[in-house]
Amino acid sequence: MIYVIGIGPGSKEMMTLEAINAMEDADVIVGYKTYINLITEFIEGKEVVQNGMRQEIDRCKNAVEIAKTGKKVAVISSGDAGIYGMAGLILELVSKEKEDIKVKIVPGVTASIGAAAILGAPIMHDFCHISLSDLLTPWEVIEKRLRLAAEADFVVCLYNPRSKGRSEHLAKAFKIMGEFKDGSTPVGIVKDVGREKQEKFVCTFDSMDFERVDMTTMVIIGNKSTFIHEDQMITPRGYTV
Ligand code: SAH
């Protein structure tokens, strides 16, 4: 049995009861060490298998092997496991196995939803998630999605916006979307959602400060109707008020 658990963006308050119950039910916890550190209180006394970033395939293969021994395994993802998390990889691996291994995906609060609540109501209308990481996706595909999402006036939530190795991706993304997004379009930046160092900034597309953004940041770019009120970002649903 494998639980694939989204633990939310960081704080205990943003974990679902189902996630907590699944962690408590598991015999073995598998995950990236930063996330394991966020859930220590729920996994006391349990066997823990942790490894570093970019070892996702090994980690998930390991989880499948442990499940085959009859133990209940919990694979931990931050946010939601089905959004740039481990859910897909686990299901792909299990689909190749002859043995019948049960998998339960436990949903979590993804970073965009956590950030949106902190910013106000920026994703009240149609929106999309785009990851700026080209580790698993060719950059040309990312560019095309950015351009078309901006042209279609989606609210855009950027995951993996800026890392040390890819510090220029965010500026490039803004240049591409700038063809269709007005300079006055509101942009919300939330760092470390649900964690101790949580910080929020609201600015406009033209006044965007890329330096504020790192790898645990969510960037939300509004649509043509989004406006800023005090320090909140609001995208009208269309009601007449
Ligand atoms: N499965 C995760 C996403 C993993 S991809 C989820 O559903 O949230 C990693 C990216 O998610 C980061 O680069 C960042 O853009 C975003 N992210 C994850 N946790 C975050 C947090 N606590 N605060 C802000 N952004 C976060």
Ligand 1, pocket residues at CB < 6 Å = 9-10, 77-80, 83-85, 110-111, 115, 159-161, 190, 192-195, 215-218
pLDDT tens readout for residues 81-126: 999 999 999 999 999 999 999 999 999 999 999 999 999 999 999 9
In terms of domains, do 99 and 205 share one? no
Contacts of 221 (CB under 8 A, 6+ apart): 155, 156, 157, 158, 177, 181, 185, 186, 187, 205
- CB atoms < 10 A from the CB of 92, how many? 11
**CATH number of the domain to which 175 belongs:** 3.30.950.10
Single pTM value for the model: 0.96
In terms of domains, do 89 and 124 share one? no
**CATH number of the domain to which 92 belongs:** 3.40.1010.10
> What's the distance, CA 135 to chain centroid?
16
d(CA 16, CA 101): 24
Query: How far are the Cα atoms of 2, 71, 77 from residue 27, in angstroms, in the given order?
Result: 10, 6, 17
Question: Which of 71, 61, 11, 60 minimizes the C-alpha distance to 32?
Answer: 60
In terms of domains, do 125 and 230 share one? yes
Q: What is the pLDDT of residue 53?
A: 65
Indicate whether 203 belongs to any domain.
yes
Res 54 pLDDT > 90 = no
- Number of structural domains (the chain) is 2
In terms of domains, do 99 and 76 share one? yes
Indicate whether 219 belongs to any domain.
yes
For residue 165, give its domain range: 111-234
Give the residue from 91, 106, 121 where a domain finishes: 106
Indicate whether 241 belongs to any domain.
no
Q: What is the pLDDT of residue 162?
A: 87
Indicate whether 47 belongs to any domain.
yes
Paired sense of beta strands 47-51 and 28-32, if any: parallel
Compute, in angstroms, the gap from residue 222 CA to the centroid of ligand 1: 19
In terms of domains, do 122 and 95 share one? no
